[in-house]
Amino acid sequence: MTGQGPRILLVEDEVSIAEPFARVLAREGFVPTVAGTAAEALDAFERVAPDLVLLDLALPDGDGRDVCRELRSRSDVPVIMVTARGTEIDRIVGLELGADDYVVKPFSGAEVVARIRAVLRRTGRGTAATGSEPVTIGPVAIDPAARRAQLGEDELELSRKEFDLLVDLMRHAGTVVTREDLMARVWDENWFGSTKTLDVHVGWLRRKLGDDPAAPRFIHTIRGVGFRFATPEELDPSA
């Protein structure tokens, strides 16, 4: 139904960190691959071709900085370094090796996800995987690469934010997308103003889709949480 999200190579030997954070990444729309050693990381890098590497510096078979050097010799893939050390010199060394960002343990999943999105957006990575493939759900079709949307045979005239909002909702069809995530992805992760603008844009988008907010067919409001786009099965009773 939708394309896969950006591929993230998570290089972390502590299972108690790697496994739950991989689940967080998957829930946020990424496709995680976990490597527990430097050797596994380099092998997975060639196999997966990730859009971003989240790299722990302390690995059982080597130093993450050596892995970063090796990755930089092969590719310009974005690298976010993760370490328990937090001194200024560690940060400087990491960034001089070509890391795009630096995270110190302990960290929150939300913080790292925000940093991943910021680096991907800044470097232009993962754009093909974040929804450039055309998506059709019921009578609604979007082509993110061409920035075109249709309702049946009719072209939809959408503003930039309306289009981005529709793409995000359709990419996560059947899943509740929180207001905070929509604001972060469609507006900006550093948006601190009222989310009223989100409600206004959802209202405009519903009108253009011919959606009745009292009995929506496409965009459902999940009170206190966010919004959910209908699945193909919901839009086709015969399916």
Q: What angle do CA 165, 168, 169 make, to 5 degrees?
A: 85
Peptide bond into 20 cis (omega under 30): no
Specify the CATH class of 7-123 in words.
alpha beta
Residue 83 pLDDT level (bands cut at 50, 70, 90): confident
Q: How much is the average pLDDT of 197-224?
A: 92
Structure tokens at 124: 């232009």
| CA 27 to the chain's CA centroid | 9
pLDDT tens sequence across 169-183: 998 888 888 888 888
pLDDT of residue 189: 47
pLDDT tens sequence across 130-167: 446 788 999 999 988 788 999 999 999 998 889 989 99
Least confident of 68-77, 114-123, 190-199, 207-216: 190-199
Q: How much is the average pLDDT of 95-116?
A: 81
Q: Of 162, 163, 170, 168, which is closest to residue 136 (Cα–Cα)?
A: 170
How high does pLDDT run on average in the chain?
83
| CA 20 to the chain's CA centroid | 17
Q: Of 51, 28, 56, which is closest to residue 171 (Cα–Cα)?
A: 28
pLDDT of residue 126: 60
Distance between CA atoms of 85 and 160, rounded to whole angstroms? Answer: 42
- The DSSP annotation for the chain comes to ------EEEEE---HHHHHHHHHHHHHTT-EEEEE-SHHHHHHHHHHH--SEEEEESEETTEEHHHHHHHHHHH----EEEEES---HHHHHHHHHTT-SEEEESS--HHHHHHHHHHHHHHHTTTTTTTT-S-EEETTEEEETTTTEEEETTEEP---HHHHHHHHHHHHTTTSPEEHHHHIIIII-TT--S-THHHHHHHHHHHHHHT--TTS-SSEEEETTTEEEEPPHHHH-TT-
Asked if residue 221 has pLDDT above 80, the reply is yes
The answer to whether the CB of 186 falls within 8 A of the CB of 165 is: yes
Q: How much is the average pLDDT of 206-224?
A: 92
| Cβ partners under 8 Å of residue 193, min gap 6 | none
Distance between CA atoms of 126 and 135, rounded to whole angstroms? Answer: 17
pTM of the predicted structure, to 2 decimals: 0.53
Between 103 and 54, where is the model more confident? 54
CATH number for the segment(s) 135-235: 1.10.10.10
Between 97 and 71, where is the model more confident? 71
Spell out the domain ranges in the chain: 7-123, 135-235
pLDDT tens sequence across 21-34: 898 888 888 889 99
| pLDDT above 90 as % of the chain | 33
pLDDT tens sequence across 124-133: 666 433 446 7
Asked if residue 1 has pLDDT above 60, the reply is no
The answer to whether the CB of 198 falls within 8 A of the CB of 182 is: yes
